[in-house]
Chains A and B, each alone.
Chain A
């Protein structure tokens, strides 16, 4: 055989098919493209972020209010929320991709500002390709200045990096691990979804007829990810579907909380997927959770931290200092 053909055979052996998660890289592109404008409801990156925030808004109160030990991982190194009358707080929400082995990467990074009356949140998405200036973290050497690697030094280090990047004080940080999502659904005995038509999608593994179904975690995850055969296949449609799923999950959770066994199972699954930083003061955590519970994700204000392509490294972004003031204003109150 010819050497080039042998080489081609070796190449085919080494090749891997693109995973469904490759689509995340597409939304990074939208994050960079969307940066110049303050509000872009239809940009996929923001919508994906909205899904992460919805997840956080659903999960955090659930875990914290229902007696889960969400404070277990607390390191107590950042400012705590005082108990007593509510005051405005800034919460950092990180959606982590939970890769097997190795540190997980931050997939979506979001600052949420809750005003004292807790009515309407401001949500600022930080593109994961933004680079931050170096910060010193006691327990980590900084691997890469890109924000997506912010979890390397733990949540307290993530907080420092966001504070240094935005000059906004972060009161609380929450990490939501999407890998645990399927487990949470299973703990609730499944979740109800409605399909407008039959779906058979090989990429995501979703095969269901039209109508209402009670699906287990793996299928719920496929439903959240599927890009073909349902709606118009756009990222936007997918994210709307994810939000419907989150709402269905919340409804299911409320339904099941009368059952102590189901509830205990759910809390165990959820608390292993949600990490909270900001002190183990349960009063403070509960007051924050109550605040989050009141917020309506649909009434919140979504924006993206203004960035531009990093001239020193076009694969990354830098904060566009000239345009950040307006975006950061709600967070400095």
Chain B
């Protein structure tokens, strides 16, 4: 039985990618590290059906481009999220349709909340269709920035690296997107039951 050599936890992404130049199998460790995270992100934007293939496509594309990875960047997440963003963009019609469907339908399932969270939960459920509608209406580039920050938890600098744009552009797109979201929310009172 040949066991895969254990990957030391301390090895950075850049070190893994450097090692994968000579030993392609090392790249699989990057998959193990980030595939679940990328899957969750894509499942939010496009749903579970497409997420699996897109995660696979992402790593295959990343593998093909690994020689061009900037080894000065220890954390590969911005790079991977950049590839994911491009692949998700091919499905931007599906994505908008997904959000529009949420805009029309009430909450899909009732989730039990702890008592002190009830107020927030009611508010969140009420604004959900509005939020989804606002997301659907955003220009694709603004939405990419907004969701990398809000859903992928990337910093402004990481978002800029992922999309290959200046940090200033990240700020301006994010501000524009958030202004539109707040404007949409402003049309409703989130604390009222009928939003």
Contact = CB atoms under 8 A, between A and B. Distances in A.
Given A25-B35, A33-B25, A10 B47 contact: no
A1 B1 contact: no
Interface residues of A, number: 39
B60 A32 contact: yes
Nearest to A128: B56
A21 B3 CA distance: 21
B14 interface: no
A113 B11 CA distance: 44
A33 B24 contact: yes
Interface of B is mostly: helix
Given A1-B120, A1-B124, A9-B124, A14 B131 contact: no
A10 B124 contact: yes
Contact of A314 (B39, B61, B131, B146): B61
Contacts of A25: 31, 35, 52-53, 55-56, 59
Interface of A: 1, 3-4, 6-11, 13-19, 21-22, 24-26, 28-30, 32-34, 42, 99, 129, 231-232, 234, 236-237, 309, 314-316
27 contacts: A1-B120, A3-B182, A6-B185, A7-B135, A10-B128, A11-B44, A15-B40, A15-B44, A16-B43, A18-B40, A19-B52, A25-B59, A26-B31, A28-B59, A29-B31, A29-B60, A32-B60, A33-B24, A33-B28, A33-B63, A34-B24, A234-B2, A236-B1, A236-B2, A237-B1, A314-B61, A315-B60
Interface of B: 1-4, 24-25, 27-28, 31-32, 35-36, 39-40, 43-45, 47-49, 51-53, 55-61, 63-65, 87, 102, 107, 120, 123-124, 127-128, 131-132, 135, 146-147, 149-151, 178, 181-182, 185, 190
